Amino acid sequence: MTLTVPMDETRPKLKPLARRFYLRTPELVARELLGNILVRGRGRHRLAGRIVETEAYLGLNDAAAHAAAGPTARNAVLFGPAGHAYVYFIYGMHYCFNVSCRPAGNAGCVLIRALEPISGIAAMARSRGVELGIAPTVAKLRRLASGPGRLAAALGITRARDNGKDVTASDLWIGDDGFKTAIVSTPRIGITRAVDPQLRFLLADNPYVSGKPFRAKPSPASRR
C-alpha cells in the first residue's frame, strides 16, 4: 500500500498552481492534478487534502460532459477561462467540484473525486456530520472525502459559494508540494454515455480513492 507522504510544515510553502497549468487538455490536467493539494482557506485555518482521484471531461466532443450540448446557464463557467471552479448540484443533494481547463471556448474540465485528508480533519468531519474518535483509522478518515459529493461536503463547497472562483487566486485553490507517485487509469464512474474511454485517474493502491472501502492486505502473521 502506498500511503502518500503527509504534507508537513517543513516543506516549501505551498504555492497555487499557475494559470498555465490549466491551459492544457483535460486528460493531462487530470493526471497532473493527482498528488497536489486542494485547499479551502488561506492563512491559518485551512482545510486541505491530497488529490488522489480525478476524471477528465472533454467538452463539446464528450457525450458524458455537461458541456456536450453547448453553453447553458449551469455550465457557463466551463466555456470561460481555465483554472476556475465549476460546481454543480446533482441528485437533489450533492455538490461536485471541477476545475475548467484549456483556453476560453474549450469546455474541458476535471472532476476532483477524492482527497486524502491532511489538515483541518476535525472541521471536515464536522462538515460531513461524521464522528471520528481519537486516533481515527484509515477506514474512518476515508469516509471524509472519498467521492465527489463527500469531498464537496467536507470542504463546504457549494454552487452559491464557489462556482466560478479562480482556483489560482481565491480561498479555494490547488497547491503543489512536489509529491509524485504512480498513476492508474480506468473508465469514468456513474455515467451512462461515453463509458469506454479511460478518463478516470487514481494514485495506485491509495486507500482514499472512491469505491469499495479499503481493506488491509492480509499478512500471514495477522491471519485469524
Q: Which of 24, 46, 94, 140 binds DNA (CB under 7 A)?
A: 94
Residue pair 75/107 in contact (Cβ under 8 Å)? The answer is yes
**In this chain, which stretch among 28-36, 69-77, 173-181, 216-224 interacts with DNA, using CB under 7 A?**
69-77
Q: Which of 27, 65, 58 is nearest to 192 (CA)?
A: 65
Q: Does 84 bind DNA (CB under 7 A)?
A: no
Closest CB 118 distance from DNA, rounded Å:
18
Query: What is the rounded distance in angstroms from the CA atom of residue 104 to the CA atom of residue 220?
Result: 55
Distances (CA, A) of 201 to 27, 32, 147: 9, 10, 13
Q: Which of 8, 12, 44, 93 binds DNA (CB under 7 A)?
A: 93
Residues 21-60 that bind DNA (CB under 7 A): 55, 57
Residues binding DNA: what is the number (CB under 7 A)? 39
CA 14, chain centre distance (Å): 17
Give backbone dihedrals phi and psi of 16, rounded to 5 degrees, phi first.
Answer: -60, 140
Query: What is the rounded distance in angstroms from the CA atom of residue 83 to the CA atom of residue 65?
Result: 17
Residues 111-170 that bind DNA (CB under 7 A): 111, 128, 143, 147-151, 159
Where on the chain is the footprint of DNA (CB under 7 A)? 55, 57, 64-67, 69, 72-75, 86, 88-94, 96, 98, 109, 111, 128, 143, 147-151, 159, 188-192, 210, 212, 215
